[in-house]
Amino acid sequence: MSKTEIVTINEVGPRDGLQNQKVPVNTAGKLAMIHALVKAGVRHIEVSSFVSPRAVPQMADAAQVLEGLPAEDEMHYSVLVPNQKGYQRAKSAGAKSVAVVLSATEVMNQKNINMSLASSRTVCNSVISEAKEDGLESRGYISVAFSCPFEGPVEPGIILELAQEMLESGADEIIIADTIGAACPAEVSGLFRLLTERFGANTMENRFSAHFHDTRAMALSNVWAALQWGIRKFDSSIGGLGGCPFAPGASGNLATEDAVVMLHQCGYDTGIDIKGLMKAIEVSEKLIQHKLGGRMMPWLSSRKNI
């Protein structure tokens, strides 16, 4: 690289990481986690979701979390919404950025939100359009983009089709999500090549991002593969927290500290301080009452001066 390139980390620990934790985390605890992440230099955070409290009790205080967020400069907070009811709740609570999730297969949509693929497409694109009209940022997740735990490998053509619909509806960002961590670098490269051919390199760099799980220990390799196609924004979760509660085998998001260390060593800039991340991990461990850490944690813990 001729000059230092910026790669944006979108931290999903407060939402994706906590949503299926057995230990309840109260609003103050969630805000303590977010404060620690902000102090570490994280500037993009998915803070909660406006889903049914019955379905995901851990997210029942989404409005209270939004109300208590630290008002730092250049912060980008987003929330997940499952449908228009969730969108209206998020908007009323003051959300400025909303994310919808559309699974690429019929069965995953049924398991995740109890809707057909066709109905889910309609709802997601309606929310995106409404957000555009309301002046809110909209982000569209395409989950199980490589493989579905119920239907197996996903044809790339459907991903291109779903992304096209979201962009036409006005989505500001499309997130390609390997929800169960089944993808390998060759598959990631192949899909992002097709997306680049369809939408162009400039669109890929500015409006697409990626979400990888480390289930098969290939999350960092997949980040590298996506980087080669111009992707400059990635989801990750502090300490590797999380995994979709509706997808069998979806254990473990890409750990934020792993992503940051690799990117920095490869010459990219994330603006995130690794010492600060280590402190955020300590805060998170106290909240969920067990140890956290990605694959680099043993090495990071052994370093006196990181």
Tokens of 153: 């490998």
Rounded alpha-carbon distances, angstroms, from residue 216 to 152, 184, 242: 16, 9, 15
- Do the Cβ atoms of 137 and 97 come closer than 8 Å? yes
**CB-based burial of residue 2 (10 Å sphere; 0-12 exposed, 13-18 middle, 19+ buried)?**
exposed
Which of the residues are catalytic?
Answer: 244
**37, 74 contact by CB (below 8 A):** no
**Position 267: which residue type?**
G
Q: In angstroms, rounded to a whole number, what is the distance separating the alpha carbons of residues 66 and 84?
A: 18
Q: Which residue has the tokens 């910026």?
A: 6
Helix (H/G/I), strand (E/B), else coil: 11: strand
Write the single-letter amino acid at 82. P
Q: Which residues contact 147 (CB under 8 A, 6 or more apart)?
A: 153, 154, 178, 180, 182, 183
Q: How would you classify the pairing of strands 147-148 and 152-153?
A: antiparallel
